[in-house]
Structure 1
Amino acid sequence: MDWDDYRLLLSIARSRGLPGAASELGVSVSTVFRRLEKIEEERAQRLFTRARQDYVPTEIGIELVRVAESIETEVQRGERAISGRDQQLTGTLRVTASEVIANYFLARHIPDFRTRHPQLSMEILSGNSIFSLEDQTADIALRPVRPTDVNLVGRKVAELHWGRYCSASPQGAAEGRESDRELEEIIGYSSGPISIQEKLLGRATSKHSEVFWRSNSLVTNAAIAQASRSTALLPCILGESWPGLRCVEAPIPEVAGELWIVCHKDMHRTARIRAFFDFVIETARSDPFLRLPDDGSRPG
């Protein structure tokens, strides 16, 4: 079997079917079916059992998938070794970040990076999923936690402060309450690190407050707060820049986090990686929404 055969088996196993494997490999479903049928015929072995729509590896299939994963790891290591010695500020740089960091930090500064390095193109992978730096889905990650993987290197670039925000209109949450005895509606965050969720909920459930809303999107929470009488617990980089919100309290010390820029250790000497690291570190130091002033004044 060559690498293409192993890659086919790996794609089928990961997608648990032919359509997903065909999409990943860029071929038709019938092509995947014929290639799998040929591999099984040549070895007189059934490598997958068909359970309804799923393709489940047999015992021998599991062993071959493990071999395929090992080969894939070595191929990726070789590619990183080559890419890691690339000293040209050209090509594509793939950066992954949460929706908040992508929209309210990167989006404001990427045009300046483009001006400095016109030969580099950018691909931003935005979302709350953690994209892998091991399989080169992304080159660089901006994450709200310190990296623990020994294969990753990173730098802390800023503190991530949190605060309480409500609608800036006269009918907003804080101003709309008739008295301190009226229950304050809190918008909770149901995603992210469990430690952050627990601290947020602990902060929210005071004597005169209760969590009435929850979502897995901080952007959604900001929109709800702006349109309702509820109070949202938000990163200050989002709350300070969202139109129609005003700060009730910030920062909240017990919910402080960190912003890290991370890459694979095989890639950190690449010119384009170093250039983006330097740019993000420099930019974060002066970003008004990452560093709240001590005198209580708000960014404009």
Structure 2
Amino acid sequence: MINWNDLRVVLAIVREGTLSAAGRSLGVDQTTVTRRLAALEEGLDARLFDRREGRLIPTAAGEEVISRAERAEVELAALERDVAGRDTKPGGLVRLTSVPTLSNRLLAPRAGALFARYPDIELDLIAEPATLSVTRREADIALRLARPTEDGMIARRLGAILYAPYALAAVAGRADLPWITYEESFAAIPQAKWIAREGKAPLSPLRVNDGEPILQAALSGLGRTLLPVFVGENETRLTRLDDAVTSREVWLVVHPHVRRSARIDAVVGWIDGIFAALKKQGAVE
């Protein structure tokens, strides 16, 4: 009989590329990965991987096992969600992921209100620039800065975060104050596009890939930049240089099975309350 843990090893090898990396992702050593792979190959009487230039490449049999293992992974996650969704009171663990700016500057400072109302809720807040999969249960809830593309998910637009230019008050009057912008791989986001199109001053030699370092650079007096209004208005050392000039949509994503649980309802309601307050403050439209 095939062991699910052995199939997890196969998926880890495919996703990580090497036995050692697969072991790290699973929290086991390389010897354990090798042993489990060998046991699965022996049980199936088939070689699942060829080694080429230091990496493991699936054979035809391996591709078949991988395809079925991926389907099994999705089905097992769905089963877990179905059972977890039957709880009737707001309690238990919820995994919420979003980009670091939303996690650090919006959600974490307001988590106390969630726990005060629902003391049995536990929240794993995952500040992650990369997109974690709600489908594979890497997260229960996700906040995305673009329309989601995952099939079968419940997705709802929460609003659009407004961005305005800010600078350290002590240097805000300088006409030659440079613009701090994003590195090349982030050139398509609205803030970077606006700075490239409308920024009249030179660009700073510093380029970043996240909202937190761009905020810290502005606070150090290194230049001006675009910040979410809800961030800029809470930093007393900064001066707002103009009205909001661009925005980014925020979408809430939840798996339909998980959405039925009281713990998910509680966290979604808390998020809705945060965005309702931001709209009243003029930080979200």
Matched, 1:211 2:211: no
Cα separation, partners in 2 of 1:226 and 1:26, compared to 1, 3 Å: closer
8 Å contact kept, 2:230–2:283: no
- Structure 1 residue 99: deviation in Å? 1.1
Corresponding residue number in structure 1 for 2:249 = 258
Corresponding residue number in structure 1 for 2:123 = 122
Q: Any residues of structure 2 matched to 1:155-170 within 5 Å, and which?
A: 155-169=156-170
- Structure 1 residue 42: deviation in Å? 4.1
Structure 2: unaligned runs, 5 residues or longer = none
235-244 or 273-282, which deviates more: 235-244
Q: Distance in 2 between matches of 1:44 and 1:107?
A: 51
Corresponding residue number in structure 2 for 1:296 = none
- Structure 1 residue 47: deviation in Å? 1.5
Instruction: Letter of the 2:23 partner, please give it.
Output: A
Matched, 1:249 2:242: yes
Cα separation, partners in 2 of 1:290 and 1:214, compared to 1, 3 Å: farther
Q: Any residues of structure 2 matched to 1:146-295 within 5 Å, and which?
A: 146-169=147-170, 172=171, 174-177=172-175, 183-190=176-183, 194-196=188-190, 197-204=192-199, 206=200, 209-212=201-204, 213-252=206-245, 255-287=246-278, 291-292=282-283
- Structure 1 residue 258: deviation in Å? 2.4
Question: What SS class does the counterpart of residue 132 from structure 1 fall into?
Answer: coil
Q: Distance in 2 between matches of 1:39 and 1:150?
A: 32
8 Å contact kept, 1:176–1:229: no
Larger Rg: 1
Instruction: Letter of the 2:142 partner, please give it.
Output: A
Q: Any residues of structure 2 matched to 1:30-49 within 5 Å, and which?
A: 30-49=31-50
Question: What SS class does the counterpart of residue 150 from structure 2 fall into?
Answer: coil
- Structure 1 residue 48: deviation in Å? 1.2
- Structure 1 residue 97: deviation in Å? 1.2
CA RMSD of aligned residues (A): 2.4
Instruction: Letter of the 1:218 partner, please give it.
Output: G
Instruction: Letter of the 2:267 partner, please give it.
Output: F
- Structure 1 residue 291: deviation in Å? 2.1
Corresponding residue number in structure 1 for 2:132 = 131
Structure 1: unaligned runs, 5 residues or longer = 178-182, 294-300
Cα separation, partners in 2 of 1:135 and 1:36, compared to 1, 3 Å: same
8 Å contact kept, 1:47–1:60: yes
Corresponding residue number in structure 1 for 2:85 = 84
8 Å contact kept, 2:161–2:283: no
- Structure 1 residue 184: deviation in Å? 4.2
Aligned length: 281
Residues 6-33 of structure 1 deviation map (CA, whole Å, 9 limit, x = unaligned): 2221122111122232233333321221
Q: Distance in 2 between matches of 1:246 and 1:2?
A: 60
Question: What SS class does the counterpart of residue 93 from structure 1 fall into?
Answer: strand
Matched, 1:112 2:105: no
- Structure 1 residue 278: deviation in Å? 1.4
- Structure 1 residue 3: deviation in Å? 2.4
Normalising by structure 1, we get a TM-score of 0.84
100-109 or 41-50, which deviates more: 41-50
Corresponding residue number in structure 2 for 1:180 = none
Q: Distance in 2 between matches of 1:238 and 1:287?
A: 11
- Structure 1 residue 229: deviation in Å? 4.6
